[in-house]
Structure 1
Amino acid sequence: MSMKSLRALTLALVAAGCLTVAHAQNVRPEVGKPLQAASELLRAGKAREALAKVREADGVGGKTAAEQLMIDRMKGAAAQRAGDNGTAIQAFESVFNSGKLSGSEQAQVAETLAFAYSQQRDNAKATQWANKAQQLGASSPQLKQLQAYLQSQSGDYAAIAKDSAAAVSAAEQAGRRPAEDDLLRLADAYQRTNANAAQSATLEKLVSYYPKKEYWSALLGRLPRKPGFSDRFSLDVMRMKLATGNLSKTEEFMEMAQLLLQDGYAAEAKTIVDKGFASGALGTGAEAERHKRLRDLAIKQDAEVRANMEKNIAAATAAKDGNELVRIGSVLASMGQAEQGATLIQQGIAKDALKRPEDAKLRLGQALAANPKTKAKGQQTLRSVQGTDGAADVGRLYAILAGQQ
């Protein structure tokens, strides 16, 4: 084989990733010529013809170890592109076991074998080679995806949870946003292993790092079913559904407006009804007149609340406990008067003797977060809310939402 031909073959095979320059320089013409032809056929997209040429080279007698390694590399590449995974596996395993590969080459070949075995649906072998590739330093996104797929196929959700949790933790400790796929796999693994609390915590991370409507929907749908979650936070769940684009049905607008009116949030109820009419969820169909009556009631109650506000504030200030000050302050905040609302809530908290101190802290956090000047303080307050009845959960989610608005 001429030096020019050998150089062309060397460059072609190196470019194709089939071998190193050092390996390509020890080849006889009777081996090199069909390999060169195979390389050219591969570049032309003729993988099966290339594989036939490689077999021609393989038929030469007395091959050296270097020649056999070159043949096996090219055979693996041609077979893989031809869809002959069985031959590719045989060739690449021979390459891997040759003892002639550098550490990075071993990692690359092991990864190739993992994908080849997965194409053969031999998940056990694919997993074996994928793990070996990882141990040798391979870390491509494609390998990680393959490992995640193989784990899911194995049904070993405990292992999936462990690996995904480690990936999420490593990203957070490095100051990076965890990969969305890792969080999704973790949430799914926790769901399949009935680790409900861990799943909810993972969904919180999802909405924090990737605030998509569907992730918020999944989290808010689970929240009311959490053991011990109090019905008094049903309105808060609806508020968060509205804020995340997950409240759109006629009955949802109706229920939310009615709950707001019952709790004294007439201005907010009026806003919700107006949104319902604007979206077409209210004001149409057989219940259209009922919707209009609800709007009229919201308008009437809003006017009454505003007319009596100063008198009610004075009465709440004179009261022995701070419960009414907290309630009125929360109402004012919902009317867009966040600063005055926060002040009243703080006065109510200072009086002490509150029926639900953590609820008061929750409402204070909301009011502070609604004011751009005190948003950070509001988020901090919301995260500090304690309790096992849903107050702490609602506080954390309000804090997340405040950071996204």
Structure 2
Amino acid sequence: MKMTTMTKGISRFVLRTSVALPLVMAPAVSVTVLEAVGVSAPFAQASAAEETRKVPAMRENVFKKLGKVQEAADAEDWNAALAALRDMEEGKDKYNAYEKAQMYFFYGFVYYSMERYNQAIASYKNVLAQGVENIPVGTELNSIKTIAQLYMVTEDFGQALKYLNRWFDRAETVSATDYALRGQAHYQNGDEDGALRDINKAVSMFEADGKVPKENWLSLQRFLYYEKNDYKKVTSILEKLVKYYPKGEYYKQLSGMYGELKREKDQLHMMEAAYIAGALQKEKELLNMAYLFMGNEVPYKGAKVIKKGIDEKKIERTSKNLETLAQAYQMAQELQKSIPQLEAAAKLSEEGELYSRLAGIYLDLDKNEKALEMGGKALKKGDLKRPDQLYIVLGMANANLKKYDTALKNLEKAKKDERSEKFANQWIEFVKTEKSREEQLAI
């Protein structure tokens, strides 16, 4: 389906913004790294949740060395933490697999904190390389998931998906946030169907718990349905975004979707909401707002939008824009406000057409001198679509002013166009009759 002007704003670029998902990386320093990997006291074994996996014990001397790393990490002195780890690594040949795994886990945490992501990935892989039978289940799953997240950061989305799928297969509990993360990975890896399945799952899980889905989840979901041209789905998602995260951009996009679905009244109301919210700042947007008002029989509001836009220099004061403003006033039966705008438009125009229209308006208002003035300007600028019609206006204005000879000259010119010949002849007969009557009265 071809996009309308109102929906072009919902482009791939726009819809890809604000979809990045928050990463939950290695444990925060407020929870010690030792506790995060299942070590809270010397010689600690796996936690109760991990009792089915027996891992080697950590010896006291190794625990103390890790404690020094922890102290540096608590102070966020990453260089000191790294130095302590390197000092510790010199004796790694004497460590059992569990102790090595904890050392590499610390390395991963420190490298992550230093934003050295590739080295962090390698360190967490070294944790897994010690053999899953030698590390607690929590440490294994934490490492796998963190590797996946780090691959997201480094934009290696294929590897991110590989490790996320591995984590999904092993994890007992998968949250909505986990599905959203994998959905993002699918999307970035070019699998929009996979992305949609996961982001739909994330949203439905949140909604089932009575929670409001996160804005970036809805944003990605909206984009994926837009790519499928499922405008009804896009509309329903945008309605949620407007409700929970009211922003001008969402108002505009929802208005565009209502336009696609031929819901003109809803389109107008939503665009007006965007206008009131100050989201319409560009000339094209403001003019579209005015056209919507005019098309829905509220032209005076359309005129106000254009007038305000011109006054604030958001709409350029061109002949065309002034003509549109005049048209809006005219539709609203505000002729006295329409005429000055149309005159200003005519003055800026390179053609005489607007002056010709003004001549007709002044004739209707019985302002014959002004009609002749505007008609003269129209002829001077030229490039008229129907000069015959202008000559009829001039003929009628001159006749009203009892300038019969000039009126006849105007009407003779008008009748040269066969489209005006019949009407011009009727007026010629009338003018001749009036002229004769006036002459008789003068005797």
Name the TM tier (shorter chain). Answer: 0.5 to 0.7
Q: 1:140 offset after TM fit, Å?
A: 8.9
Change in 2 beyond 3 A, CA 1:283/1:156: closer
1:69 to 93, 98, 117: 98
Matched, 1:137 2:166: no
In structure 2, the partner of 1:112 is 146
Residue type matched to 1:175 in 2? G
2:124 to 61, 69, 89: 89
Per-residue displacement from partner, 1:225-251 (whole Å, max 9, x unpaired)? 34xx38xx3x76344312212555556
Alpha-carbon distance in structure 1 between the residues aligned to 2:78 and 2:290: 65
Matched, 1:212 2:241: no
Per-residue displacement from partner, 1:237-291 (whole Å, max 9, x unpaired)? 3443122125555566667657756765465456556654664556945568646
Give yes or no for contact 2:37–2:139 (8 Å, CA) kept in 1.
Answer: no
Residue type matched to 1:137 in 2? T
Q: 1:99 offset after TM fit, Å?
A: 4.9
Change in 2 beyond 3 A, CA 1:290/1:251: farther
Q: Secondary structure at the match of 1:147?
A: helix
Change in 2 beyond 3 A, CA 1:242/1:111: same
Relative contact order, CA 8 A, sep 6+: which one is greater?
2
Alignment of 1:7-26 (within 5 A): 14=34, 17=37, 19-21=39-41, 23-24=43-44, 26=57
In structure 2, the partner of 1:147 is 182
Q: 1:214 offset after TM fit, Å?
A: 0.7
- Identity percentage of aligned residues: 21
In structure 2, the partner of 1:173 is 208
Alignment of 1:6-405 (within 5 A): 14=34, 17=37, 19-21=39-41, 23-24=43-44, 26-27=57-58, 31=62, 35=66, 38-39=69-70, 44-46=77-79, 47-60=81-94, 63=95, 67-82=96-111, 83=116, 84-85=119-120, 87-94=122-129, 97-102=132-137, 104-118=138-152, 123-134=157-168, 135-137=171-173, 139=175, 146-226=181-261, 229=262, 233=264, 237-245=267-275, 246-248=279-281, 265=298, 268=301, 272=305, 275-276=308-309, 279-281=312-314, 284-286=317-319, 290=323, 293-294=326-327, 297=330, 300-301=333-334
- Measured on the aligned residues, the alpha-carbon RMSD in Å equals 4.1
Alpha-carbon distance in structure 2 between the residues aligned to 1:170 and 1:205: 16
Give yes or no for contact 2:42–2:63 (8 Å, CA) kept in 1.
Answer: no
Alpha-carbon distance in structure 2 between the residues aligned to 1:35 and 1:282: 66
More helix by share: 1
Change in 2 beyond 3 A, CA 1:297/1:250: farther
Q: Secondary structure at the match of 1:178?
A: coil
Q: 1:184 offset after TM fit, Å?
A: 0.9
Q: 1:42 offset after TM fit, Å?
A: 5.0
TM-score, normalised relative to structure 1: 0.55
Could you tell me which runs of 5 or more consecutive residues in structure 2 were left unpaired when the two chains were aligned: 1-30, 46-56, 337-443
Alpha-carbon distance in structure 2 between the residues aligned to 1:187 and 1:159: 15
Give yes or no for contact 1:19–1:70 (8 Å, CA) kept in 2.
Answer: no
**Dislocated runs of 4+, deviation >6 Å:** none
Q: Secondary structure at the match of 2:133?
A: coil
Per-residue displacement from partner, 1:333-364 (whole Å, max 9, x unpaired)? xxxxxxxxxxxxxxxxxxxxxxxxxxxxxxxx
Alpha-carbon distance in structure 2 between the residues aligned to 1:252 and 1:29: 69
Alpha-carbon distance in structure 1 between the residues aligned to 2:328 and 2:318: 16
Q: 1:298 offset after TM fit, Å?
A: 5.9
Change in 2 beyond 3 A, CA 1:183/1:96: farther
Alpha-carbon distance in structure 2 between the residues aligned to 1:95 and 1:253: 64
Residue type matched to 1:152 in 2? Y
Q: 1:152 offset after TM fit, Å?
A: 1.8
Change in 2 beyond 3 A, CA 1:110/1:137: farther
Alpha-carbon distance in structure 2 between the residues aligned to 1:298 and 1:31: 86
Q: Secondary structure at the match of 1:21?
A: coil
Q: Secondary structure at the match of 2:212?
A: coil
Could you tell me which runs of 5 or more consecutive residues in structure 1 were left unpaired when the two chains were aligned: 1-10, 304-405
Change in 2 beyond 3 A, CA 1:302/1:265: farther
User: More displaced, 294-303 or 147-156?
Assistant: 294-303
Residue correspondences, number = 281
Give yes or no for contact 2:299–2:328 (8 Å, CA) kept in 1.
Answer: no
Q: Secondary structure at the match of 1:126?
A: helix
Q: Secondary structure at the match of 1:165?
A: helix
Change in 2 beyond 3 A, CA 1:53/1:279: same
Residue type matched to 1:136 in 2? E
Give yes or no for contact 1:260–1:266 (8 Å, CA) kept in 2.
Answer: yes
In structure 2, the partner of 1:381 is none
Q: 1:112 offset after TM fit, Å?
A: 2.5
- Choose 1 or 2 for highest CA Rg: 2
User: More displaced, 86-95 or 164-173?
Assistant: 86-95
Give yes or no for contact 1:260–1:269 (8 Å, CA) kept in 2.
Answer: yes
Alpha-carbon distance in structure 1 between the residues aligned to 2:103 and 2:308: 66
Q: Secondary structure at the match of 1:199?
A: helix
In structure 2, the partner of 1:322 is none
